[in-house]
Amino acid sequence: MKLILSTSNIMNSGPPSVIRHPMMQKSNIELITSLRSNFVASQTLDNTGVDGANCAANGQHGNVASWTENCEDGLYIPAVDFSQHGLAEERDQYDITVKLFYLPGIPASRRCAHTREAIDLVLRELHVKSIDLLIVSFPGILFDADDDSDEEGSDASGEDDFDSMVQTWRVLESLHEQGVIAQMGVAEFGSERLARFLPHTQVKPTVDQINLKDCCVVPKSLILYAKQEKIQLLTHNDCNDILPVGMTRELLGPKDQGGAGILASAPDANDGIQGDVEPQWVVKYTAVVKDRGVVENKGYFALADVGTCVQSRS
């Protein structure tokens, strides 16, 4: 079965503990901490009024916690009330940026479905019909500011192969055509990779998001190439492997080990869902009020497969 993890709006929901750490260091602390605190908050709060808002109430699985919700598309952890009003003002007041992380080891063949799933959740959460910018992060690509030439190491394990990136881009282009995505971007592309990638695209990326330890050291070749191709270079500090399997198991594991108590504590225990857990993708969304620079809504969804029916990696 599918597990849909969510943080809700992390801007006004308690300490985003990520900010207690040095900034220029890559981090998935924000994701992990905000998932954890949303789980804790949902367990302690009375959730009447949230239950049943979207689909059949939970309970189909006798061992599923009451603060979650079992829907057609998966088990929501915690239950999400999509009927809540999404954004305070009209759509055109906002810049909505979404970043989709395809995770390492997950077959590229699933990305079409994953992309649609992820975008759909964000649109439902924010009550909007489209997003302004979708940035996709392919697994295994590492941007190295010191060495602009040698980033194509396609034999590195977990490295995404070029063809599947192009395939994935087709899916984004179709969403662009449907008007769901206004602009598209990539992450961690060096100038050579961009130069190889662009001829295969019908809709060009307008953004390349790069992570730099010292953001004043950007390879000149990339600056020049990006300028020529009218690609904006943006900064980020996301972790490359944002949601590893072990972390997911820890988050959802037994309560006495600090988890949410979703997964069974042992192969023969009846206290949770049995089977292997495999995170599939993570999506981050941010809604910024354009002419005021205020981040009104920011959060994550993550999807993991669990159980004996985890799809074979073909």
Residues that bind another protein (CB under 8 A): 8-9, 11-16, 18-21, 23, 37-38, 41-42, 45, 50, 78, 80-81, 84-89, 93, 95, 97, 133, 207, 210, 212, 214-216, 218, 223, 232-237, 286, 288, 291-298
Nearer to another protein, 38 or 168 (CB): 38
Nearer to another protein, 106 or 207 (CB): 207
- Max distance between CA atoms of the chain, in angstroms, equals 60
Nearer to another protein, 12 or 149 (CB): 12
Q: To the nearest whole angstrom, how small is the minimum distance from the Cβ of residue 268 to another protein? A: 33
Q: To the nearest whole angstrom, how small is the minimum distance from the Cβ of residue 200 to another protein? A: 25
Q: To the nearest whole angstrom, how small is the minimum distance from the Cβ of residue 140 to another protein? A: 22
Query: Using CA atoms, how far apart are residues 118 and 141, in angstroms rounded to an integer?
Result: 21
Q: To the nearest whole angstrom, how small is the minimum distance from the Cβ of residue 217 to another protein? A: 9
Q: To the nearest whole angstrom, how small is the minimum distance from the Cβ of residue 212 to another protein? A: 7
Nearer to another protein, 9 or 280 (CB): 9
Give the burial string for 258-295 (b: 16+ CB within 10 Å, else e): ebbbbbbbeeeeeebbebebbbbbbbbbbbbbeeeeee
Q: To the nearest whole angstrom, how small is the minimum distance from the Cβ of residue 80 to another protein? A: 7
User: Cα dihedral sign for 212, 213, 217, 220?
Assistant: negative
Query: Using CA atoms, how far apart are residues 224 and 246, in angstroms rounded to an integer?
Result: 40
Nearer to another protein, 50 or 75 (CB): 50
Nearer to another protein, 14 or 153 (CB): 14
